[in-house]
Amino acid sequence: MNSSGSGISLAMVLALMALPALAQRAYVPNAGSGSISVIDTDTDQVVATLPAQGVSAQKPEGIAVDHSGSTLLVVDAAADAVLAIDTQNGALRKSIAANKGPEGAQLSPDGKTLAVCAEDTNQVLLIDVATLAQTRAIKLTGENPEHCVFSPDGRWLLTSNENSNDVEVVDLKKHKSLRRIASAGHPRGMGFTPDGQRVYVANESAGSVQVIETRHWKIIKTITTGLRTAGIAVHPDGKQVYAANGGAGTLSVIDTASDEVVATVEVGQRPWNMDFTKGGAKLYVANGRSGTVSVVDTATNKVLSSIEVGKQPWGVAIR
């Protein structure tokens, strides 16, 4: 086996297989390198780099891992596709057409469906994870959806529409848009609290996070954060929300009991999308302009390490 034949070297395959069965891996799509860095979250070391540029993904962005941990689902923005990649050998299982301009993606709570935002066609695409086939394209009324997130119960899907400056609520029982909620400006990352009662929305041009209560879909608070706030990660216990400030190189830590910023964490340049290890002990932050991932101890809100990855890391998915 060699890297030209499989997109991953034998040494990398052996390194992946040698990881403990319970070790979690953080997968980082490097949009500028056309690669995916694989980090062992026990050691915080890169143990593999999946397919080189041109072999698989040209511009990997949105990413998810299926519940078995065996398949990566990666948006290739340059190819207008979602790629299903075997996590053990880096092989491309399938390329799924994703209309035009796909970027953000999220797996449903039950793990059965991947939602992908197609920016250029103003659609949300639903992909069946078992069959790796697109099952539905839902037309939105807003413009240029970037991120799409499921509610914890799987009933709702929200999109952040950059060009129409709003958050759109999609009813997944009816497969249609329910309403749009005006944002403070250029909405990007979003996250539900575990009970589904609130959603936190990053507003890039406003440098703020808005809090939406989901019973009436109303904004109940706007929290000043930092320059160009773009990423949101809600801690699994629901007590803290991390907002990535791309222009400031910081994270704002929001206490959900008071909806106030209680800490600021310096990370790399242009932090964006993030993910937690199981239980939320550590947060992994993709720093787009630094080519690094910052590892944050969520108990102390201190950076534990900075891991070199590829060019322009877009986000992190951990399984």
- pTM tops 0.85, yes or no: yes
Residue-wise pLDDT for 52-67, tens only, equals: 444 567 999 999 999 9
Give the DSSP per-residue string, 146-160. Answer: EEEEE-TTSSEEEEE
For 32-39, what is the mean pLDDT?
Answer: 95
pLDDT given at position 24: 96
By percentage, how much of the chain surpasses pLDDT 70?
A: 92
Report pLDDT for 129. Answer: 98
- The predicted structure's pLDDT at residue 4: 35
Domain locations in the chain?
24-97+267-318
Categorize the per-residue pLDDT at 3 as very low, low, confident or very high, splitting at 50, 70 and 90: very low
Structure tokens at 93: 């299982």
- At 88, is the pLDDT very low, low, confident or very high (cuts 50, 70, 90)? confident
Q: Identity (one letter) of the amino acid at 107?
A: L
- Its CATH class, for the domain covering 24-97+267-318, is mainly beta
3-state helix, strand, coil in the chain (%, to 5): 5, 55, 45
Taking residues 233-257, what's their average pLDDT?
98
Query: What value does the mean pLDDT take over residues 291-305?
Result: 98
Instruction: Please report the pLDDT score of residue 23 as a whole number.
Output: 81
Residue-wise pLDDT for 4-19, tens only, equals 333 444 445 545 544 4
- Name residue, tokens 């209560």: 213
pLDDT value of residue 229 = 98
Question: CB under 8 Å to 142, separation ≥6 — which residues?
Answer: 122, 159, 161, 163, 164, 166, 168, 177, 180
According to the model, what pLDDT value does residue 42 have? 97
Give yes or no for a contact between 56 and 90, defined as CB atoms under 8 angstroms apart.
yes
CA 240 – CA 69 distance, rounded (Å): 26
pLDDT digits 0-9 by tens, 152-163: 999 999 999 999
The position carrying tokens 């400006």 is 185
Taking only the tens place, the pLDDT of each residue in 171-200 is: 999 999 999 999 999 999 999 999 999 999
Beta bridge partners of 82: 75, 96
Considering the chain, what is the average pLDDT of its residues?
A: 92
pLDDT band, very low/low/confident/very high, at 247 (cuts 50, 70, 90): very high
Q: Band of the pLDDT at 21, cuts 50, 70, 90? A: very low
Confidence of residue 90 (pLDDT cuts 50, 70, 90): confident
